[in-house]
Structures are given as structure tokens and as C-alpha cells.
């Protein structure tokens, strides 16, 4: 809920002890949290977790660790946040599970691009930084008032 509807993936990742404490009222505000909203967030997160489990299995199978897709192990809440952000920016109701599910691949692309822009920072650290959310938001290009999926940047040094 913190990542999806409250747009706070960092607290979702690092503030797990506070979700049922100091963050409870913000996380489970009865004026906006509905069963449909919880279901949509849960179903999307489970789909993201499926990709995370696949990445973990792949990582265990290879003898030399590949970091190409390993970021998902740490970045699942940020992917869920991006799904919610796409939903908000495109004017969709966060309870629309089918639309949210259809956006997951776009969200993975945005977060993947963010990770690629930080090759020297471990995913563990990257997704705990308070600045990560804003940097991800900066990757959302706007076309006629609607965000599109960012294209791969070609940064030559």
C-alpha cells in the first residue's frame, strides 16, 4: 500500500517495522483504502514477486552472479510504485487490477533504466536511498500531458 497507493517505495522497503506503528494511519487510511485497492496492489505485487522469484532462481543456477536482472530482488516495491504512478498519471483508478497488470512491463522498463543509470551502486543500497523515488520520477517523459515508456538512453563517455 505504501508503494502503490501512497507513492512511497522507500518506506515500503525500509520502514517495515513502522507500517503497523507510526505509518499505520497513512498506509491504511479508511477514507481511501478499499478492498479493491488492496486487491489491486496485492495482485500487482504478486506478479512482480513472480519475476523476482525467477531472478532468484536464475541467480542460483549460474556460477558467476549476473547483475543484469538481479536488481528486481531489491527493487520490487519501486516497480510497484511505478505501476501506481503510471496509473495516476494516465488517469486510471488504482483499483483497476487489469489495467495495473498491463502496466507492469512498462514499470519494469522504467526501473531497469534507473538501475542502468547507476552502474556503480548496488541494488541493495540504490533502493534504500531517499533520492531514488525522485530520480525514477524524472525518467517519466511527458507527451501531450501523458507519460510514455522511456526509451533506452545511450550514454557514451
The count of C-alpha atoms lying within 13 angstroms of the C-alpha of 101, restricted to the half-sphere facing its C-beta, is 10
Share of the chain above pLDDT 70, in %: 83
User: Has residue 150 got a pLDDT over 70?
Assistant: no
Q: Is 113 a member of any domain?
A: yes
Q: Is 2 a member of any domain?
A: no
pTM greater than the 0.85 cutoff: no
**How far apart (Å, rounded) are the C-alpha atoms in residues 150 and 139?**
7
Determine the structural domain holding residue 136 and report its residue range: 9-147
Q: Is 139 a member of any domain?
A: yes
Q: Residue 142: beta bridge partners?
A: 147
Q: Could you give the number of structural domains in the chain?
A: 1
The candidate with the shortest Cα–Cα distance to 94, out of 102, 107, 85, 104, is 85
pLDDT in tens, 98-145: 999 999 999 999 999 999 999 999 999 999 998 999 999 999 866 444
Amino acid at each position: 500500500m505504501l508503494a502503490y497507493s501512497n507513492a512511497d517505495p522507500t518506506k515500503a522497503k525500509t520502514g517495515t517495522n513502522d507500517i503497523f506503528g507510526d505509518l499505520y494511519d497513512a498506509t491504511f487510511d479508511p477514507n481511501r483504502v478499499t478492498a479493491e485497492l488492496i486487491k489491486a496492489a496485492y495482485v500487482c505485487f504478486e506478479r512482480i514477486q513472480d519475476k523476482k522469484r525467477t531472478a532468484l532462481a536464475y541467480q542460483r543456477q549460474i556460477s558467476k552472479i549476473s547483475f543484469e536482472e538481479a536488481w528486481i530482488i531489491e527493487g520490487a516495491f519501486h516497480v510497484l510504485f511505478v505501476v501506481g504512478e503510471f496509473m495516476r498519471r494516465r488517469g486510471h483508478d488504482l483499483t483497476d487490477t487489469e489495467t495495473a497488470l498491463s502496466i507492469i512491463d512498462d514499470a519494469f522498463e522504467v526501473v531497469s533504466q534507473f538501475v542502468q543509470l547507476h552502474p556503480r551502486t548496488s541494488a541493495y543500497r540504490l533502493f534504500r536511498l531517499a533520492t531514488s523515488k525522485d530520480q525514477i520520477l524524472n525518467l517519466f517523459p511527458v507527451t501531450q500531458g501523458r507519460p510514455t515508456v522511456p526509451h533506452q538512453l545511450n550514454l557514451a563517455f
